[in-house]
Structure 1
Amino acid sequence: MDEPTILLTNDDGIESAGLRAVYDGLDAVGDVTVVAPADDQSAVGRAISHEVSVREHELGYVVEGTPTDCVVAGLEALVPETDLVVAGCNRGANLGAYVLGRSGTVSAAVEATFFEVPAIAVSMYIPVRDDTAFADIEADGDSYAEAVRATSYLADHAFEAGVFEQCDYLNVNAPVAEWGPAELEVTQPSRVYEMGAVRDGDAVTLHDRIWERMAEGDIPDPEGSDRRAVVDGKVSVSPLTAPHTTEHHESLDALAETYDPAAGP
């Protein structure tokens, strides 16, 4: 492939340091156009709007909407010649199978696959001990260097290597650059799930306990998992498919055969 046309989006908003860092890195790989939300759209999943307003920006376009809105608008109306969608770099990791559907960053990559456009979602892990403190963590452009290096490398070489002939999108998670040079490891999303909830009167606080364990380096995730790789200071790359896979189930067939539509509830 000649120089690819790249649509760059994110969920942190068009003014985020992570998006700008990835833009600068990808600029040496292909023709990059940003189509990104006007403001923070973290954890919106694949939420989509009926109509969004769009305005021009020095990097491309600003969309008053979600990351999914950006991808649909970008591929259908703004940058229809796109060869590759890149989403990120997100300020904070998107690790574990249970996180994939929540993440606006990963959801943007998933949306691209329905257009049969390959995609890369990229996020940077920032060690924190509590979800509520995360909003106060700042990261400048230099902190994203390992994420940018890995993303640019994959965008430059994945097509020729045939990577997207075997997967639909890549979920990339990198440690902060301050940890030093990071190797790249092919991984699978961790299945470890540690969400909890505590009731206090009329309120219930939801909490992901894995963040504290990650900050301590004490995680239950096995070798080969995305979370283990990042905590060990590596760049995790998970090759994934979309939409969700389905399998034939004989037990469900049996239920379908005995179903009586005339019977009462």
Structure 2
Amino acid sequence: MKIVLTNDDGIESPGLAALYESLSALGDVTAVAPAEDMSATGRALSREVVVDEHEYGYAVHGTPSDCVIAALESLVPDADLVVSGCNRGGNLGMYVLGRSGTVSAAVESAFFGVPAISVSLALTSADFEGGATPKEEYAEAAAVTRYLVEHTLDAGVFERADYLNVNAPRPGTEVDEIAVTTPTRGYDMSVERAGEHLRLHDEMWDRIDGGVVAGEPADSDLRAVVEGKTSVSPLTAPHTTEHHEVLDTLVADY
């Protein structure tokens, strides 16, 4: 198996190192990842990037989407799978998917027709603000990723899903269980104004900190992580359309 490994935290991040070591037992892993932290860049693209060789593969001076395009079009064109992660911090909820560089790398791969898995480690705000998360704290996320890589391709999972979005619970969680989920549909952004300054706040962190899952359905990715389970959401990348008779009428009357 030929695996492309990327992320948005950068090629030197402990989360990427943890996945590189875990997945190397399954096949030929080549990292094609940003040379620096490119978090929350979504599917931003560059017109030209510089690529440096790295002990894990290639460091790209660009975005996660740049990395996937460079990998699948040039550096590792025969890849069987793209794995993106492990991100430091969760990527939970519909409204986060398009913003996350980690998830966007998986989406980019899906448009190439190459199966992908994005992986994140859900942290509390105290965890995130407390300094770097060491490689050993990604152990459970790495173990689940290895299990999924080892079994999902042959099982036909990607015949219906384009990519999997995985969120492992915070380090030290004792529950050893995987839950198949859907991204929560709530929207948790708020704004606080202080004069000319506007502070944009993602309240998902508050919900994780407080274990708040009121109103969340049983298959919510947020609920799974708060309950100490690893969330796996099978998702599709192409933007779907449906026949819309009202719109047909409107354009016909133009």
Give the whole-Å Cα distance in 1 for the aligned partners of 2:129 and 2:172. 20
Partner of 1:26: 23
> For 1:247, which of 234, 242, 246 is the aligned residue?
242
Partner of 1:205: 199
Partner of 1:263: none
Matches within 5 A, 1:1-265: 4-128=1-125, 134-220=128-214, 221-259=216-254
Give the whole-Å Cα distance in 2 for the aligned partners of 1:136 and 1:247. 46
CA-to-aligned-CA distance 1:53-112 (integer Å, 9 cap, x gap): 001001100000000000000111101110000000000000000000000000000000
Counterpart amino acid of residue 153 in structure 1? Y
Give the whole-Å Cα distance in 2 for the aligned partners of 1:28 and 1:53. 29
Say which one has the larger Rg. Answer: 1
Counterpart amino acid of residue 206 in structure 1? L
Give the whole-Å Cα distance in 1 for the aligned partners of 2:4 and 2:188. 34
Counterpart amino acid of residue 234 in structure 2? P
Cα shift at 1:256? 1.0
Q: Secondary structure at the match of 1:155?
A: helix
Cα shift at 1:139? 1.1
CA-to-aligned-CA distance 1:204-227 (integer Å, 9 cap, x gap): 111112211211112232210111
Q: Which runs of 5+ in 2 are unaligned?
A: none
Cα shift at 1:173? 0.3
Q: Is the 8 A contact 1:146 1:176 kept in 2?
A: no
Give the whole-Å Cα distance in 2 for the aligned partners of 1:210 and 1:89. 19
Identity among equivalent pairs (%) = 60
Q: Is the 8 A contact 1:142 1:177 kept in 2?
A: no
Give the whole-Å Cα distance in 1 for the aligned partners of 2:204 and 2:7. 24
Q: Is the 8 A contact 1:11 1:66 kept in 2?
A: yes
Give the whole-Å Cα distance in 1 for the aligned partners of 2:53 and 2:125. 35
Query: With structure 2 as the length reference, what TM-score do the two structures score?
Result: 0.97
**What RMSD in Å do the two structures reach over aligned CA positions?**
1.2
Q: Is the 8 A contact 1:210 1:219 kept in 2?
A: no
Query: With structure 1 as the length reference, what TM-score do the two structures score?
Result: 0.93
Length, aligned pairs only:
253
Q: Secondary structure at the match of 1:177?
A: coil
Counterpart amino acid of residue 98 in structure 2? G
Cα shift at 1:202? 0.8
Cα shift at 1:136? 4.2
Q: Which runs of 5+ in 1 are unaligned?
A: 260-265
Cα shift at 1:176? 2.7
Give the whole-Å Cα distance in 2 for the aligned partners of 1:65 and 1:208. 25
Cα shift at 1:246? 1.2
Counterpart amino acid of residue 226 in structure 2? V
